């Protein structure tokens, strides 16, 4: 019995040796590949977390410089943010912060540069849309109407369409294009929630152009205006 078991065990060992001789290298390389992939994934996750922490710290520096009104410090911090963490959400937020602070400090060119960077580099369409609206507003104030129109012509997420339409209405109105302005304001008016404060602002703009926002038609003239018009 013992010999039978010994022979049986010997056969199993021989089979195992044969199997390992045939497939051992393949199994080893597969294990190395799996373990290597797992290690690489863990390493990537650690690198991502490390970058996020560093980007957050640098964004804090941007905010502190902005709060203190230290433009030189803000410019340096934002520059570092663009160079080191340009693809992060923190960099996009930093660009919007820098744009506002520079504009408030009458550093208009620096403000436009910061906002253009967000428009060109931000992977998030929402941040891009905010930057486009702010940049268009600055360009409109400088009467750079063609450049403003280019910024407003880009596609934006649906939740920003009403704001873009309103800004397009402002641009058309300043250029004396009344019918175009009315069309854009009406689009914005219909898109905003009925309870939104901004919708009431658009309503005022339409009324100022002689249009009833609800009906989409010219505001009816008063009896006095009609009589005056008939005398003419």
Q: Which residue has the higher pLDDT, 51 or 43?
A: 51
In the prediction, which pLDDT does 92 show?
93
HSE, CB side, 13 Å, CA atoms: give it for residue 38: 6
Residue 211, strand partner residues: 218
Helix, strand or coil for residue 217?
A: strand
Q: Collect all residues with Cβ–Cβ distance below 8 Å to 73 and sequence separation of at least 6.
A: 61, 65
**65-74, 120-129, 177-186, 210-219: least confidently modelled range:** 210-219
pLDDT category at 217 given cuts 50, 70, 90 is low
Q: Tokens standing for 213?
A: 């926002």
209's CB contacts (< 8 A; 6+ apart) are 173, 178, 181, 182, 185
pLDDT digits (tens, 9 = 90+) for 8-43: 666 666 676 766 677 667 666 666 666 555 444 444
Rounded Cα–Cα distance for residues 65 and 110 (Å) = 15
Give the closest residue to 108 by CA, choosing from 76, 142, 85, 73: 142
pLDDT tens digits for range 186-216: 999 999 988 888 899 999 999 999 998 876 5
Residue 221 — pLDDT band, cuts 50, 70, 90? very low
pLDDT at 47: 42
**pLDDT, the chain, mean:** 82
- Average pLDDT in the 165-193 region? 95
Considering the chain, what percentage of its residues have pLDDT values greater than 70?
A: 72
Mean pLDDT lowest among 23-32, 89-98, 157-166, 184-193:
23-32
Structural domains for the chain:
21-123 (1.25.40)
Say what the pLDDT of residue 164 is: 96
Q: For residue 80, give the 3-state DSSP assignment.
A: helix
> At what angle are helices 161-174 and 178-191 packed, to 10 degrees?
160
What pLDDT, on a 0 to 100 scale, did the predictor assign at position 7?
Answer: 65
| Residue 123, token pair as written in the block | 């992977």
Q: Percent of the chain having pLDDT more than 90?
A: 60
218, β-bridge pairs: 211
What CA–CA distance (Å, rounded) separates 227 from 232? 9
46/175: higher pLDDT: 175
């Amino acid at each position: 019995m013992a010999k039978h078991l010994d022979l049986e065990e010997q056969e199993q060992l021989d089979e195992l040796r044969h199997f390992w001789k045939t497939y051992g290298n393949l199994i080893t390389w597969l294990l190395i590949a799996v373990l290597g992939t797992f290690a690489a994934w863990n390493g990537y996750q650690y690198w991502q977390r490390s970058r996020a922490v560093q980007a957050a710290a640098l964004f804090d520096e941007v905010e502190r410089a902005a709060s203190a009104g230290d433009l030189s410090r803000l410019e340096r911090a934002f520059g570092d943010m663009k160079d080191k963490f340009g693809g992060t959400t923190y960099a996009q937020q930093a660009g919007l912060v820098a744009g506002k602070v520079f504009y408030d400090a009458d550093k208009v060119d620096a403000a436009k540069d910061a906002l253009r960077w967000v428009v060109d580099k931000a992977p998030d369409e929402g941040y891009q849309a905010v930057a486009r609206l702010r940049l268009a507003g600055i360009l409109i104030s400088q009467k750079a109407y063609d450049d403003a129109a280019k910024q407003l012509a880009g596609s934006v997420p649906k939740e920003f369409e009403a704001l873009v339409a309103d800004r397009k209405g402002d641009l058309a109105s300043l250029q004396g294009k009344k019918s175009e302005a009315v069309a854009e304001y009406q689009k914005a008016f219909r898109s905003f929630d009925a309870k939104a404060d901004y919708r009431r602002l658009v309503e005022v703009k339409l009324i100022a152009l002689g249009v009833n926002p609800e009906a989409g038609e010219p505001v009816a003239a008063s009896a006095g205006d009609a009589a005056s018009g008939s005398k003419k």
